[in-house]
Structure 1
């Protein structure tokens, strides 16, 4: 279940954050109504905080896109020109 923040283009970042806190609180209490989690256009999922490094995001129709993030790790690697690059 993914709560929907509506008309984000008309809201400040602070207003969106406050609305997300409210939706999260109500979701944890099982108090969301169908209008709170239906009719979204795009989903953004961040699972990096749970140690997830990669994921296959599943699109829920009728949404048009989903963007999933995992955690970022720093590792050393050799570039094509044989230089060591440590922020891959």
Structure 2
């Protein structure tokens, strides 16, 4: 696993790249479609565990975005981007779709 973090202006990007078996475009599209479904962070599917669900929920709560692609090794690249500072009116965090 290779993790790279960088900040450009007010945007923080974190890349997670694995060196696992090469991911097919069909698998990649399945991950992308799964992440776009309503309430997708609640549901798990085979081989996707709860890890991505938790990450998607945290990213959403922090006004961020998450994208999936093939990395330079052929495995999965997960890129998380979010503002360097998220201002809230209170300390309470809630999520709804």
TM-score normalised over the length of structure 1: 0.26
Name the structure where helix makes up a greater proportion of residues: 1
Q: Which has the larger radius of gyration?
A: 1
TM-score normalised over the length of structure 2: 0.24
Higher relative contact order at CA 8 Å, sep ≥6: structure 1 or structure 2? 2
